[in-house]
Amino acid sequence: MALPAPVVSYLQSSFLEETRPFCLLLDANYRVVDSWGDNSWCGLTGIEPGADMRESAPFLVGLPLTETQRFEFIETVGRAIVHAHLVPEGDNCYVVLLDARVAHAAQQTTQHSVNEHRLMHVRQRKFIARQRELISELIETRSELEHHRRDAERSSAEKSRFIASMSHEFRTPLASIINYAELAAAGDTSANDVQKCIETISRSAQHLTSLVEALLDDATLDAGQVELVEHDFDLRKVFDDLAAMMAPLAAEKGLSFVTLVDPDVPKVIHADEVRLRQVLINVLGNAVKFTLEGSVKITATYAVDRLRIKVADTGPGISPEDQERVFRAFERGSTREKAGAGLGLTISLRLVQLMRGEVSLESVQGQGCEVIIVIPAAASAAPIGHDTGMFAALGSDTMAQKPLSVLICDDDADMVALVEHYLHRSGYGLITSSDTTEAIEKTLNYAPDLVLMDCNIPGIGGVAAALQLRERGYAKPIVALTASNLDAEEQGAFTRFFRKPAPMQELLAEIKRLTH
C-alpha cells in the first residue's frame, strides 16, 4: 500500500533538502546535453552543452555510461563528497550527484574508531611478541651470566689454589737459599761445607728460575705471543740430550731410562726444536717425578711427515677423572705431594697445539701412563751446520783477546757488581751507569765496544735507549740483559737478548763473539 501523499511529499522535500541533487545528462562521449539543480556545492564547473565532463568530473574517466551504477562517498577533486548515480537513458546517461557530507562524517568517525582499535591490536600483538623476545633474551643472558659467574668462581678458586701452591713452591727453595747463604757466611763453616752450600743455593735458584719460566710461558701463551721458530735439527741429538738430563734423575730413584728412535725417523727434521724440547722435558720430568719403580721410556716413530713421540712410565697411573684435569692450568691430579706449579702439562698441550699437533694420554690407574705427542715435522735433506743442542758445550774461552770496553747500564748495584766481576776477570774495561740518560751520553762519548743494557731502569727505559743510540749513530752491539719479558718488536732493538738470570758463561761467550 502506497504511503499517504503528505508523507511522500514530506520525505521528498526532506531528501531533496538534505542531498541537494544535481543532475547532468551526458551523451555517449561524456558531453553535456542538459543539467538540472544546484551545482554550487559540488564544485563542478564548465557545465555547458557540449562540454566534456571528464575534465571537471574526472571520476567519470573509464566509467561506462551504458549501465546503471552507484558509487558511494566519492571525495571529488574539488573536495565535495558525493554519492554518484549513473542512469542510462537511450544513447544518453543521467549522472545524479547527491551531497553525502553528513553521512560521510558520521561513517568516517565510526570507521576511524574501528581502524584505530585494530591498529592498537596490531601494536599490542607486536609489543607482546617483542616482550616475549626480550624475556627469552633475558633468560639466555642470565644463563650466560650464570655460566660466566661459575667460570669466574672456578677461575678464582684455581688462582687462589695456585697462589697458595706458588707460595709454598717459592718458599721452599727460598728458605734453602737463605739458610745455606747464612751457613756459608758463618765464620766457622769449612771450605768443603761452603762449597756444598753454594751448590745447594745454585740448585734452589735454578728451581726458582724454572718456576718463573713456567709462569712466564703460561702468560705468554695466554697473550698469544708465542711464535714458533722452525729449523732443521737432529732428533737423535735431542734424545741424547734428554737422556743426559733425565737418566741421572731416574737413576737416583732406581728407575731405568730408555730412549729409542725408530730407524724410519729422518736424520734431519724441520720443526721448532726448542719448543719440542720444552714439551718433552715437561712430560719426561713428570714421568720421572711420579714413577716410584720400574722405568721411563721415550720412543720416536715417523710416518707421513708426522713425528710421533711416546713417553711411557710404570708409575701409579692417572684416574679417568684426573686425566681430564691434568692438562688444565694449576691442576696436578690427586697426587699433591709432588712439587711443581701444575703448569707443565698445560703448557705442553698448548705448545703442541701451536705446532698444529696433538697430545693424548692413555692410563689405567696402577698400571702406568703413556703420553703420546704427534706433530707435523717434514724430513729435511739439509745437513746440520752447527750444534744447536741446548746442552751443547759453550765456548770455553771467554777471555777478551784485545783491549775492549763494555758499558753496563743497570740500576741494580748487586747485578752491576756481579757482571762487572765476571767481565773484569775476562779482561774487559768497564763503564757503568745506573740510568739510561747517563748511559747514552757515556756511550756516545766513550764509544764502548758493547753495551749491556737492562730494560726496566730509570730514564727512558732500555728499549727506547737502544733505539736512540742507533738513531744517534752507535753501531756496535747492544745486548739486553733484563728480567722483563720483551715482545719480538722490543727484542728487535737489541743485537741479542738475555733474560735474567742468564747463565754467566753463555753471556760472556756471546759478548766475546760479538766483540771479536
Partner 1 sequence: MTRLTSKVCIVGDFAVGKTSVVERFVSNHFSGKYLSTVGVKIDTKEIEQGAAGVSHKLVIWDVAGSDSFGDREFAYLRGASGYIFVADGTRALTIGAVETIQSQIAEKFGAAPSVLLLNKRDLVAEWEVTDERFEALSASFNGAFKTSAKTGDDVEDAFARLAQLIVENELRGK
97 membership: H or E segment, kind and range: strand 92-99
- DSSP, residue by residue, 370-397: EEEEEEE-EE--SPP-S---TTPPPPS-
> What's the closest the beta carbon of residue 93 comes to partner 1, in angstroms?
14
**Which of 63, 247, 486, 514 is close enough to bind partner 1 by CB under 8 A?**
63
**Which of 112, 132, 168, 472 is close enough to bind partner 1 by CB under 8 A?**
112
Nearer to partner 1, 113 or 155 (CB): 113
**Which of 12, 28, 49, 58 is close enough to bind partner 1 by CB under 8 A?**
58
Region near partner 1 per CB under 8 A, out of 101-109, 194-202, 237-245, 346-354: 101-109
Q: Say whether residue 104 binds partner 1 (CB under 8 A).
A: yes
Nearer to partner 1, 68 or 367 (CB): 68
Nearer to partner 1, 59 or 498 (CB): 59
301 membership: H or E segment, kind and range: strand 295-303
Nearer to partner 1, 104 or 332 (CB): 104
Nearer to partner 1, 104 or 308 (CB): 104
**Which of 73, 170, 327, 498 is close enough to bind partner 1 by CB under 8 A?**
73
Q: Say whether residue 213 binds partner 1 (CB under 8 A).
A: no
The 10 Å CB-count burial string (b at 16+, else e) for 164-197 is: ebbeebeeebeebbeebeebbeeeebeeeeeeeb
Write the CB contacts of 63 (distance below 8 Å, at least 6 apart in sequence): 69, 86
> Count of H helices and E strands in the chain?
12, 18
Query: Rounded to the nearest 5°, which phi and psi values hold at 324?
Result: -75, -25
> What's the closest the beta carbon of residue 76 comes to partner 1, in angstroms?
6
Region near partner 1 per CB under 8 A, out of 112-120, 201-209, 429-437, 496-504: 112-120
> What's the closest the beta carbon of residue 152 comes to partner 1, in angstroms?
34
Region near partner 1 per CB under 8 A, out of 28-36, 115-123, 189-197, 375-383: 115-123
Q: Say whether residue 186 binds partner 1 (CB under 8 A).
A: no
Of 375, 408, 431, 428, which Cα lies nearest the Cα of 498? 408
Let me know: does 76 contact 43? Beta carbons within 8 Å: yes
Q: Say whether residue 108 binds partner 1 (CB under 8 A).
A: yes
| The pairing of beta strand 404-409 with beta strand 358-363 | unpaired
> What's the closest the beta carbon of residue 99 comes to partner 1, in angstroms?
13
**Which of 61, 382, 393, 488 is close enough to bind partner 1 by CB under 8 A?**
61
Q: Say whether residue 134 binds partner 1 (CB under 8 A).
A: no
> Residue 268 has which C-alpha cell?
734431519
> What's the closest the beta carbon of residue 328 comes to partner 1, in angstroms?
44
Q: Say whether residue 118 binds partner 1 (CB under 8 A).
A: yes
**Which of 14, 66, 115, 124 is close enough to bind partner 1 by CB under 8 A?**
115
Let me know: does 96 contact 89? Beta carbons within 8 Å: no
Q: What is the CA radius of gyration of the chain?
A: 48
- Other C-beta atoms closer than 10 Å to the C-beta of 214 total 20
- Other C-beta atoms closer than 10 Å to the C-beta of 310 total 18
Q: Say whether residue 41 binds partner 1 (CB under 8 A).
A: no
Q: Say whether residue 77 binds partner 1 (CB under 8 A).
A: yes
Q: Say whether residue 274 binds partner 1 (CB under 8 A).
A: no
Q: Say whether residue 2 binds partner 1 (CB under 8 A).
A: no
**Which of 1, 2, 122, 381 is close enough to bind partner 1 by CB under 8 A?**
122
**Which one-letter DSSP state was computed for residue 31?**
B
409 membership: H or E segment, kind and range: strand 404-409
Q: Say whether residue 132 binds partner 1 (CB under 8 A).
A: no
> Residue 145 has which C-alpha cell?
651470566
**Which of 74, 215, 384, 504 is close enough to bind partner 1 by CB under 8 A?**
74
Q: Say whether residue 76 binds partner 1 (CB under 8 A).
A: yes
- DSSP, residue by residue, 221-262: HHTT------EEE-HHHHHHHHHHHHHHHHHHTT-EEEEEE-
Nearer to partner 1, 78 or 248 (CB): 78
Write the CB contacts of 170 (distance below 8 Å, at least 6 apart in sequence): 208, 211
**Which one-letter DSSP state was computed for residue 59?**
G
**Which of 23, 25, 37, 72 is close enough to bind partner 1 by CB under 8 A?**
72
> What's the closest the beta carbon of residue 487 comes to partner 1, in angstroms?
44
Residues near partner 1, by CB under 8 A: 54, 58-59, 61-64, 69-77, 81, 104, 107-108, 111-112, 115-116, 118-119, 122, 126
